Amino acid sequence: MQKVYKANVIVVGQGGIGKTHLCRNLLGEEFTEGDLVTNGIAVSGCVLEKHKAGTTFKRQDEFFTKNYYSDTLASGVKKYKGSENSSKSRSAPALIEVKEDDETVRQILEKSDGLPQFHESVTLWDFGGQYVFYTTHQTFLTWRAVYLLVFDLTKGLNAPVHVKRGGTVKDIKVDIIPSTERKKAVEERFSEIQEYLRRRPAHDMHVQPYLYAVNNCDPQDAGIQELRQEICKTIKEQPYWGEEQPLKYVLLEKRLEEISETRKCLSLEEVLEIGKQYGLVNDEMVIHFLKFYSDLGELVFFNEDDTRNIIILDPQWLIDAFASLITVEKYHKGSKPEVGVYWDLLDDRGELDDRLIDIVWEEQAELKENKAILLRICQRFDLLVELQEEGADSQWKKYLVPCLLKNHSESEVYLGKPQCQSEDHLKMQKIPPLYLMFDGGFCPPGLFHRLVVCCYRKWSSHDQNPFCNFACFKVDDSIHTILELWNEGNGTFRLMVGSLKKDVNPLEDDNAFNVLSYITHELYRLINAYFPYLKYSIAFRFRHGLVKLKELVNKKDTLKTVILEKEDVCPPGCPVVNETAPYRKWLRNNENKVFPSTRIAVYPPDALVCDLSRKIGFEWEEVAAYLGVERPQIDHFKLNFPSDALGQIRNMLFQWREGMGASSNEERREMLKEALERARRKDLAESIASDQNIN
């Protein structure tokens, strides 16, 4: 076995605040005014070099010679063959290949001129901060990383952001703060940032309590030095640092690294064949290798039926492929007139034409060869969706790229202010809008785009001019029912359903219920895949204001609220009674089926997990066993967190929670209660039994 010392440092933050300068400073490189805006993500491999004064980062391509590993291994194989031949009969020479067991490989390496050292290495990911890249970034996020969140300390947290699509655009102003005022300003801004982060769900589990004020123009700035050392310290505390893997994995990685010099992707069949040459004799071993190094960010592998046949050896290649399809300004310049019409279509309406993809990738053979599977990857991650157009030329497909759309400026569109002033539209019936309100008033930008993509897969578009913050769909053609989906900002989505057909009453059908069922189902999938810990509530706007629905105690994980139990509501101070029948159509269908709770599959909540972690104590291994956590997993937690008992317990509970899948909250609570009782912690079992709020 060989210990692997690899990690990722992912630098995120708004556009234009100096993330690229910070990465260069961490590498000890000179400050330059001419650094280009990061287009997508810039990936830099580097090696950790230890000095008396601390640890520094050095670019990998400067540290190693091109064929260092292959030359060393070849020399070792040659010497090993020679020693074996001299000790055996000349008539039966032993042909030794690198695909032998780990001990044989070690013997080969020990015979080499210079035994290669497996250096500690880090990959710096500089995430472009422009709005159009937010959705693509989440494709490359990994748990095997330390994240640096970069702020501009000269601006407040709520200052307008320089964006490419929609919103307010302001010139970036540089403020020079006198040194006597700078310290006070920094302390105030840090306090503001810490207070904001403290209210986030994952703060106690993931956020380090360290903030650094750095001078981004000076690589020798003391803040840069401190930050670099803290990054190294934090990396080395992670459970995956020094994780043991078969030596064959390391050798196969080096072989794929060599291949990546001339080829950027391989088929799964090709990698399986190469794996056999290094002793990975079955498909399962190779798949495990690919998943491990994909988590490390060394390559890209999606282990799903429609995308697993391609292994991207160079993540930067895939990033650049994505960027080439969504960075209109860069590729539009100098294009031929016949090509310009496709760029205009992409820029104005977010529509990506198949012919434009062929033109952009024309000179890159590997991109053209793998076009179909790369587009499947884009669709798998909800980055784009194929448009189904009636009467369209089937030879050339079109795709919608939601992150490229512009914002809609009007507050009311079809249902609120019909564009066609016919009698039918004037008599249009609609259900009061429903609101999805995300906790803390925060929703990641990419979530709305991905939800729009999901809706395009389900329904056809009713809007010939789609927007970044608004989409309109045909839900039921027979009665001309449409859905408006609106991102109002501040973590609020608005849904409105109504019919454009004369004398149709949407209160008589189940379209609103079916719409909400589909959207919340897709939200559940998206949140679990991309946005863990993100929670939201359903709300309605009454005459006295926007009100979140408070779920009542129940044991069926269905949404039971006052609005379902009464014919009308009259909140304190409201002079008008609100009839509940129109609102109930969102939450109950004609068969009296009640809408499921939006809080399913989150028990035990994060706060309870942290509280139990502090209270369980030495009995935690018994609790884990009664929860069904296997002994090797328990040992794994103890190994990864040797001096952190809270970390052992907390991660065990989180893993158990995730493993419960679609189990109801009540089932989860009963299982946890029983495990605590059997581990002789009846006090904790009784405390969670008395807690009636499990949603």
- When pLDDT is cut at 50, 70 and 90, the band that residue 48 belongs to is confident
Q: Please write the tens of the pLDDT for every residue from 359-372.
A: 888 888 888 898 88
pLDDT at residue number 38: 66
Helix pair 511-530, 445-458: axis angle to 10 deg = 130
Using omega within 30 degrees of 0 as the cis cutoff, is the peptide bond preceding 604 cis?
Answer: yes
Q: Please write the tens of the pLDDT for every residue from 587-612.
A: 877 666 666 655 444 678 877 888 88
pLDDT at residue number 272: 93
- The domains of the chain, with CATH numbers, are 2-64+120-236 (3.40.50.300), 246-394 (no CATH), 423-587 (3.30.310.200), 606-689 (1.10.533.10)
pLDDT exceeds 60 at position 66: no
Rounded to whole angstroms, how far apart are CA atoms 551 and 258?
Answer: 57
- When pLDDT is cut at 50, 70 and 90, the band that residue 647 belongs to is confident
Say if residues 46 and 57 touch (Cβ distance below 8 Å).
Answer: yes
pLDDT at residue number 45: 75
Average of per-residue pLDDT across 161-188:
49
pLDDT exceeds 70 at position 78: no
Average of per-residue pLDDT across 294-305:
83
> Across all residues in the chain, what is the average pLDDT?
74
- When pLDDT is cut at 50, 70 and 90, the band that residue 100 belongs to is very low
- How far, CA to CA in Å, does 76 sit from each of 3, 67, 114, 129? 21, 14, 9, 46
Nearest to 542 by CA among 505, 516, 507, 579: 579
pLDDT at residue number 180: 43
pLDDT exceeds 70 at position 130: no
pLDDT exceeds 50 at position 64: no
The DSSP code sequence of 352-399 is: EEHHHHHHHTTT-HHHHHTHHHHHHHHHHTTS-EE---TT--TTS-EE
pLDDT exceeds 70 at position 68: no
Rounded to whole angstroms, how far apart are CA atoms 681 and 686?
Answer: 9
Average of per-residue pLDDT across 445-452:
86
pLDDT exceeds 80 at position 642: no
pLDDT exceeds 70 at position 657: yes
Of the listed ranges 79-83, 345-349, 426-430, 641-645, the one predicted with least confidence: 79-83
The residue type at 286: V
C-alpha count within 13 angstroms, C-beta hemisphere, residue 432: 16
Asked whether the whole model's pTM tops 0.85, one would answer no
pLDDT exceeds 80 at position 459: yes
